[in-house]
Structure 1
Amino acid sequence: MQKASSWLLAGALGASAATAQAATLEERMAAFEARASAAEKRAAAAEQQTQALARELQQIKLATPAVATAAATPTVDARLAKLEAREQSTEKQGSGAHLTDGFSFKGYARAGLLINDGLGGGRGGPYTTPAGSVGGAVGRLGNEDDTYMRIDLSKELYAQNGTRSKFTVSIADGVESSNDWTAEESNLNVRQVFTELDHLAAFKGNAMFENSTLWAGKRFDRDNFDIHWLDSDVVYLAGTGGGIYDVQMNKNWRSNYSLIGRNYGDFSEGGVNADVESYILTSNQFFDGGQWQWMFNAIGSKKNDFGTRVNEAGLAPADSGLHSMVANHQKTFFGREGFFKTALLYGQGLGAEVKNVGADGELIDDARALRVALYGETPLASDWRIGPSLLAEQSKDRYVKGDDYRWMTLNVRLANAINSNFEMAYEMSWQTMKLDPKGYLQRNAVDGNFWKFTIAPTFKPDLGDLLTRPELRLFASVMNWSSDLDRYSATDSFGKTDFNAGGVWQYGIQMETWF
């Protein structure tokens, strides 16, 4: 009897132990499932591996009875330990890759002091002349008194079918204060927020669309280009909408198409507030590997001349416009090392603002504008580089019937390498203008010239070319202009007590960078 009781007790203890082991196993399995689920959420890149682990765990569950035998338990424990080790490895790999994979950070910034010869705050900027009111930029070196920055943050992800998505947001700010805290003067702004899709699986095998990119959101066009020495875009298309890039029409012809909107503000008509928007339909064609470009824009803004709405001159603004540009992009400087670009732009109505396409809602129907841009860069001699540019425009009937704006800027940027980190930079800029605004914004007709010369000792990490950045520079600039230009407007810089014809010296220190 006593022996039988011992067997019963031993059996009960064995069953109890097996039950405890099974309970412990179930808890560990439950814990594993929770961690696997968390790993899935934390690491998208490890999702497939996590699913494989979950399937293997399910097989273990099906093969394991509710009460495990002592012989089976070590095998289950070993497999479970192996799965847990794989899960931890997956988490580490996934979390590390997920945080950085496809992420990019790009930016541009400039900041510095501009001091006049009376040790006061300097005046200036690439658009400081009267012609600047209609886009007539002059040389920017030693002529900037602002702090400006823009950062671009992007994240790329790949779907299992190979399609790539890219989200981009751009944040910018610009102030003229030299203080470290400028929140009250800040112009912080989200300049871009958009998403692109490319390498689309649905387009695979389609020669026309296989390499195209779809996009939607708020952005400036990918193929805008500028004259850096003048801080002037040759053409600038921006707004909110969508489009498609790189439709391959044939071997030597690709196309971009987009529809974007811009806003001209609000007005009240009959007690009803109306939102005035313009819409820009764009066709951008590239030929011979991008060497030739033809851009065409059709602009419509139905409410811009609605009812009693008028521009600053009291005239009905245009409700439509056309804009076109033909450009040539050379990868050499007339056969030499470097590059050279040429562009001819024409616009009418709302398209007569030929640089910032569709951005000026004050233009009238009769507005016409023609602009030419030429610029490039090349080695001039041993340790010397040169970047010449020309920008000129004639426009008429812009805001008032009979107004006439004519200006031309010639600019030359030079750099002489002294050693591997130091160069002497020079800039000469001359602008001639004949402006007759017919009283628009109380502006007066003027006729005259402006010139500027800057010398800038510059440090940089490498002296590759004129566009290598960052740069840390000291500078001294002298500028002068025809006295007639001082009376163009009471609201611009020209004609102020410390900034009038006769010669102005300005000095400063500045950094400029991009990456």
Structure 2
Amino acid sequence: MNKGTSMPSPFRFSRHPLAVAVALAMTLPTAASAADRSIEERLAELEARIAASERRASQAEQRAARAEAALEAQQGTEQGHAPAQQLAQHDNVSRTSGVPQTSEDEELSAPGIPSEIREEEGKGEGLSMSVYARSGLLIGSDRKSAPGGPYLTPAGRSGGAVGRLGNEPDTYVETIFDYNQRFDNGAHSLYRVMLADKTTTSNDWTADESELNLRQAFVEFSDLPSFTGAFENASIWAGKRFDRDNFNIEWIDSDIVFLAGTGAGIYDISVTDGWDTSVSLYGRSFSDYPVITREQPELNGDTDNLILTSNNRFGPWQWMISGMSANDNDERDNDPRNGVPGDNVAENGFQTMLAYHGDSFFGMGDGTFKAALMYGHGLGGEVKDLGADGNLNDDANTTRLALYGTTYLSPNWRIAPSLLAQTSRDRYANGDRYDWVTLSARLANELTENFEMQYEASYQWMDLDPAGYGYVDGNNNPQVFERVNGGYTRLTIAPTIKPQVGGFGLRPEIRFFATWSDWNKDLNRFSDEDALGSDGFTGSEWTFGTQMEVWF
């Protein structure tokens, strides 16, 4: 990321006589010192400097081409639209407690800045800043704050998101500061720090509820002259970060894959002309969980889940494989039904993903689409947030399918459909089952240069059998999930005002919305702790509100 500045192609270096003369004038020593040096030495030095100049010029041309492609993607078609914009990498908050995922955890994810634009902007030397933020008010028909969030259904605990338009009651802000430095030898250094905060209160002073967090702090080196051969275009990094190759379905606020933690890695090793690979080692912490041993019956456990990943690109194809190991994680008490340590908690595992990044709308017209098929076993049974869940069974098996795209149906109508499906067996307890499918689509009608109508429809089917598994709440009381089966439906209409319409990736915008949601009453039984089935929220619900969203 942010690897350097661009150089216009007319200033390309070559071994032209004029270029040689200029370089000669810059490099020849004084007459006194020249007498002490051989012509061969001076010519060798001159040749090295010219070669270095050509290398830097070539790298600058490549960066310029990428920047031009990013600008074209932002501007869209000749009609002024951007049907093919890919939306940014983002990711869900790290989970260090090892408990099953909750909707509150998942709400801490956020769409980001379009990745192609963020990649090319701010490459000049110095400090730059980028931002994602949303803030909204979600009110029920009783004129009180209403539950919301893309992960509010029972399937949300295993990653089952629904559409997020008109479904977010929080204020979430993330700010990235980048410092770019270019050295005399052409090498580039990027230092990045990312701060994020989230709150659900509507008050102006929220210090007591603040969840301010340092989510990234890393340094990355690129364009290193010493990197040659297969490593010529590689970059190396270390620290705490989101992996560069994460990607997501923005419309339902769900990552397709999210790899993050603290570690080190190297990007873009050119194995062959058509095959680049990236290798990384991330560490994530599982801490403060009860462990029962003969020596210390109530010892609190602590371990690191180490994730070794190889991410390979073959043109539009991406193949990712990760192995995980968390020493002694199998000593945790993973079964609140009887309060003794289970012998089935995973200590290792693996995950793999095959993805395709298309440059058309499923081959039917202008636009984009992405497809991904994932499988994980053991600690890899959480196939999306890699290494984030320490409660997984060592027999856990999960398969996940993601599919989404964007296109214009006409000059003023655009659509973004998505499908997300997952099946999981023996996830937390032997014999459990977590199956769900989410279908969602966002539709927008651009009425003027500054006004559009947005619509979103989501349906989620789920069949969840926890096999008696649960968790321990904040009061150390076991909570057991119930088996449920049914569907959840949500429809939203959102008049939207923005400085300029013309593409899914254009922000900022201000939305006003009305949402209707309904679900099978059987889903209310899943847990006493989730939103469905709580007082005044049992089905056929209307919610209203407003929200701003911005990124730059």
TM-score bracket relative to the smaller structure: 0.7 to 0.9
Matched, 1:292 2:317: yes
Note if 1:101 corresponds to 2:139.
Answer: no
Cα deviations across residues 116-175 of structure 1 (Å, max 9, x unaligned)?
001011111100111111110000000000100100001011222221111000000000
Pick the aligned partner of 2:204 from 154, 157, 180.
180
1:131-210 equivalence runs, <5 A: 131-203=155-227, 206-210=228-232
Q: 2:531 aligns with which of 476, 480, 493?
A: 493
- Alpha-carbon distance in structure 2 between the residues aligned to 1:274 and 1:449: 38
Structure with the largest fraction of helix = 1
Counterpart amino acid of 1:504? E
Contact (CA 8 Å) 1:311, 1:362: kept in 2 or not? Answer: no
- Specify the SS of the correspondent of 2:163: coil
Shift of the alpha carbon at 1:467?
Answer: 2.1
> Per-residue deviation at 1:274?
4.8
User: How far has the Cα of 1:275 moved from its partner?
Assistant: 2.5
Shift of 1:181: 0.7
Secondary structure of the corresponding residue to residue 138 of structure 1: coil
More divergent stretch after superposition (459-468 vs 349-358): 459-468
Instruction: Give yes or no for the alignment of 1:349 onto 2:373.
Output: no
Answer 1 or 2: higher relative contact order, Cα 8 Å, separation at least 6. 2
1:230 aligns with 2:257: no
Paired residue for 1:124, among 122, 140, 148?
A: 148
Counterparts of 2:394 and 2:269 in 1: how far apart (Å)?
Answer: 33
Q: Deviations over 1:252-292 (max 9, x none)?
A: 1101100010001045653476521110000000002xx00
- Three-state SS of the structure 1 residue aligned to 2:211 is coil
1:215 corresponds to: 237
* Structure 1 residue ranges without an equivalent (≥5): 1-99
Which residues of 2 match residues 453-472 of structure 1 at below 5 A?
453-472=491-510
One-letter amino acid matched to 2:307: I
Q: SS in structure 1 opposite 2:240?
A: strand
Cα distance in 2, alignment partners of residues 497 and 283 from structure 1: 47
Q: TM-score, normalised by structure 2?
A: 0.73
Cα deviation digits, residues 44-64 of structure 1 (max 9, x gap):
xxxxxxxxxxxxxxxxxxxxx
1:374 to 2:403 alignment = yes
| 2:419 aligned partner | 390
Provide, for residues 44-91 of structure 1, a one-character-per-residue CA deviation record: whole Å limited to 9, x for no partner. Answer: xxxxxxxxxxxxxxxxxxxxxxxxxxxxxxxxxxxxxxxxxxxxxxxx
Aligned partners of 2:336 and 2:243: how far apart in 1? Answer: 29
Q: What residue in structure 2 maps to residue 420 of structure 1?
A: 449
8 Å CA contact 1:345–1:370 kept in 2: the answer is yes
CA contact (8 A) 1:459 1:473 kept: yes
Asked if the contact 1:114/1:507 (under 8 Å) is kept, the reply is yes
Distance 2:492 2:310 in 1: 40
Aligned to 1:324: 352
Contact 2:335 2:469 in 1 (8 A): no
Alpha-carbon displacement from aligned partner over 1:304-360 (angstroms, at most 9, x marks no partner): 013x65455652310000100000000111241110000000000000001000110
Q: Could you tell me the TM-score, scaled by structure 1's length? A: 0.78
User: By how many angstroms is 1:302 displaced?
Assistant: 1.3
Deviations 1:433-468 (A, max 9, x none): 100001211110001000000000001122221221
Compared CA separation, residues 262 and 229, structure 1 to 2 (3 A)? same
Residue 184 of structure 1 aligns to a residue in which SS?
coil
Q: How does 1:259-338 map to 2 (within 5 A)?
A: 259-266=281-288, 267=290, 270-271=295-296, 274-288=301-315, 291-306=316-331, 309-312=333-336, 314-316=341-343, 317-333=345-361, 334-338=363-367
SS in 1 for 2:190: strand
Counterparts of 1:408 and 1:315, CA distance in 2: 30
Q: 1:336 to 1:395 in 2, by over 3 A?
A: same
Separation of aligned partners in 1, 2:263 and 2:348: 18
- How far apart are the structure 1 equivalents of 2:350 and 2:450? 47
How far apart, in 2, do the equivalents of 1:403 and 1:275 lie?
26
Q: Distance in 2 between matches of 1:159 and 1:416?
A: 48
Q: Is the 8 A contact 1:315 1:400 kept in 2?
A: no
Contact kept in structure 2, 1:312 and 1:362, CA below 8 Å: no
CA distance in 1, matches of 2:162, 2:178: 33
**1:112 corresponds to:** 136
Query: Aligned partner of 1:292: which letter?
Result: W
Distance 2:180 2:503 in 1: 31
Distance 1:389 1:428 in 2: 11
Instruction: Check the 8 A contact 2:351/2:374 in 1, yes or no.
Output: yes
SS in 1 for 2:487: strand
Q: Is contact 1:138–1:430 with CA below 8 Å preserved after alignment? A: yes
Displacement after TM superposition at 1:296 (Å): 0.1
SS in structure 2 of the partner of residue 132 of structure 1: helix
Aligned partner of 2:7 in structure 1 is: none
Distance 2:181 2:125 in 1: 8
Q: Which amino acid aligns with 2:287?
A: G
Contact 1:277 1:303 in 2 (8 A): no
Q: Deviations over 1:160-206 (max 9, x none)?
A: 22211110000000000011110000000000000000011211xx2
In structure 1, the residue corresponding to 2:328 is in which secondary structure?
helix
**Conserved? CA contact 2:125–2:182, under 8 Å:** no
Partner of 1:403: 432
SS at match of 1:233: strand
What residue in structure 1 maps to residue 93 of structure 2?
none
Deviations for 1:205-237, whole angstroms, at most 9, x for unmatched residues? x23111111000000101100000110000000
SS of the equivalent of 2:422 reads strand
Return the alpha-carbon distance in structure 1 between the equivalents of residues 262 and 325 of structure 2: 15
Alignment partner for residue 507 of structure 1, among 538, 544, 552?
A: 544
| Residue number in structure 1 paired with 2:64 | none
| Unpaired segments ≥5 residues, structure 2 | 1-123, 471-479
C-alpha contact 2:277 2:313 (8 A) present in aligned 1: yes
CA RMSD of aligned residues (A): 1.3
2:286 is aligned with what amino acid?
Answer: Y
Query: How many residues of Structure 1 are paired with residues of Structure 2 in the alignment?
Result: 410
- Tell me if structure 2 keeps the 8 A contact 1:151–1:170: yes
CA distance in 1, matches of 2:194, 2:437: 33
| 1:437–1:310 Cα change, 3 Å | closer
Larger radius of gyration: 1
Question: Identity percentage over the alignment?
Answer: 49
Residue 382 of structure 1: how far off its partner (Å) = 2.8
